[in-house]
Chains A and B, each alone.
Chain A
Amino acid sequence: MTTDRVLPGRVALWIFCVLLLAFLIAPILVIIVTSFNDSTYLEFPPHVFSLRWYANFFTSAHWIEPTLLSVRIAVVTMVSATILGTAAAIGIVRGRFRAKRSLELFFVSPMVVPIVVLALGLYFMFSGYHLLDTPVALVLGHTVIATPIVIVIVMAALRVTDPSAELAARSLGATYWRALWFVTIPSIKAAVLSGAAFAFLISFDEVVVAIFLGGPDATTLPKRMWETIRFEIDPTLTAISSLLTLVAVFVLVAVELARRTAGGGDKA
């Protein structure tokens, strides 16, 4: 099964999959190529290449201010989701109690709750506390969405690490918290960093909570993009799209590097 013998069925399978992957990748490539246009029309391929839409993005406050807000919100979300998620994951995996499965189910359930519904609930709640249109509301909403991914990744890592190292540290006199900090956490470092990177990306790209809870005083980059797409086609969007794709690729590379460096000298 692992060798690809040249069978007609196998060839057809490869052709099908290559076309399917082209379908997945092509839209992103088209947008990246279009972003180097000099024209105000979205020409593909561009007749004259230029970086004017990138320049437009980086020089207009209309785009840069939402971008900086998005970065700030994503960083705070990353920190809070990573701390909450990592602690919860350790507690669930290492703890001995009956409701483990239900608790796990509860903690990952935001993954399948429609974000519109969550955003609506938060909209009702925050309108009562005058928190609508504030970065605080966005950070809280994004943390709910990002924490499950940290929990899933860290739990998966904990389940394949050997708890005996922690027990050894304890038996040598380390307190529970010292053993946690110096033995458990380092052994799942790669998972924690991956979770953090994905939490950042989820918040940075998040649209729905940003639309519902944001406003003129708290407009993130995705919200600004959303408003623009709905009413006009601004070629600056193609440049931003390329940059956002770059951010996603950067996060994936970072996660892969974290996995590799930690995978090497982990346990003898």
Chain B
Amino acid sequence: MTVSTASRGFWRSREGMLVLPALAFYVLIYLYPLSRLGAWSLFDDGFTLRFYAELFSEPTYFKALRNTLEISVLVTVICLILGYPLAYLMATTTSSARRVLMILVLVPFWTSILVRTFAWIVILGNNGLVNRAALAVGVTDHPLKLLFNMIGVQVGMVHVLLPFMVFPLYGVMSRIDASVVRIARSLGATPARAFLHVFLPLSLPGVAAGCVLVFLLAIGFYVTPALLGGPGEITLATMIDMMINTLLNWGLAATLGILLLVVVGAIFVLFSRLMGLSRITGAGGEPAR
């Protein structure tokens, strides 16, 4: 039997019948709307490339793209630096301690993003907890500007995206055989050497998965930059919102959407080909955007 008849057989099989409703739904409510973006970006009165030309000639959009990439890279690096030690502790501690650590990551992870972003507005505001503490201690004599700028965006986004770094890291680290590190130690390696030359290299797939996941989510992030950022932190996502709701420029909004989609899609496909999809989805990474 040739491959094509085998695949055609699938769609007549019972498993095919089980997949079909979801597939039909995805095509209608997921693929079709995304393809509408392509149409809106390419047609005005007939076919045109003027939206793309505008996108690449107007410095405002270039700045939004640069902001988006800058914010995303910084968030990814901070999440890695903060998340690696936490994942390491989770992977190497007792199972009861691990359970407590996991709960403390999962509760904020599943708490509404809007709630957490609002909490940061309350905490980082001029009259907020941080500023009152800083004024009381005498670190500063005027309220520090912690909101509606890069600081606010970074704090809010790291808070939301940190678990997306920790889960894949922990997933990989928990499968590292503890005995290989012990062997290195018994052969005379210092704890630091054993970590650097044995554990760290084995954990790199987790580093890659966590970084890709956080970066992908950061690129398309909307709620936190919109609420905690200022005019200097306009990203592609907040730009799209502006195009639709204030400037009413559907063509340009669609083009920005396509740009975002192409960047995300390229990274996703490349990574899943290189590393395997399960690293992103299987390691306990559950979405909560």
Contact = CB atoms under 8 A, between A and B. Distances in A.
Interface stretch (B23-31, B58-66, B200-208): B23-31
Contacts of B244: 120, 123, 212
A16 interface: yes
Interface of B is mostly: helix
A180 B111 CA distance: 35
A149 B286 CA distance: 7
B115 to A, nearest CB: 4
Question: What is the interface of chain A mostly: helix, strand, loop, or mixed?
Answer: helix
A116 B104 contact: no
Given A17-B86, A97-B7, A121-B257, A88 B23 contact: yes
Interface of B: 3, 6-7, 9-10, 13-23, 25-26, 29-30, 32-37, 40, 82, 85-86, 88-89, 92-94, 97, 101, 103-108, 110-123, 127, 129, 159, 162-163, 178, 181-182, 191, 213, 216-217, 219-223, 227, 237, 240-241, 244, 250, 253-254, 257, 260-261, 264-265, 268-269, 272, 277, 280-282, 286-289
Contacts of B29: 122, 140-141, 143-144
Nearest to B30: A144
A49 interface: no
Given A16-B85, A95-B13, A105-B272, A21 B105 contact: yes
24 contacts: A1-B178, A13-B85, A20-B162, A23-B159, A24-B163, A26-B123, A31-B115, A44-B129, A88-B23, A94-B15, A107-B22, A112-B217, A113-B261, A117-B240, A117-B264, A120-B257, A124-B254, A149-B286, A208-B222, A222-B114, A229-B114, A229-B118, A245-B112, A248-B112
A122 B289 CA distance: 17
A89 B169 CA distance: 25
Given A107-B26, A114-B222, A20 B237 contact: no
A2 B113 contact: no
Interface string A113-143: 1111110111111000000000000001101
A108 B36 CA distance: 21
A225 B163 CA distance: 24
B119 A113 contact: no
Given A91-B18, A125-B36, A99 B286 contact: no
Contacts of A41: 127
Given A124-B250, A149-B287, A212-B244, A30 B264 contact: no
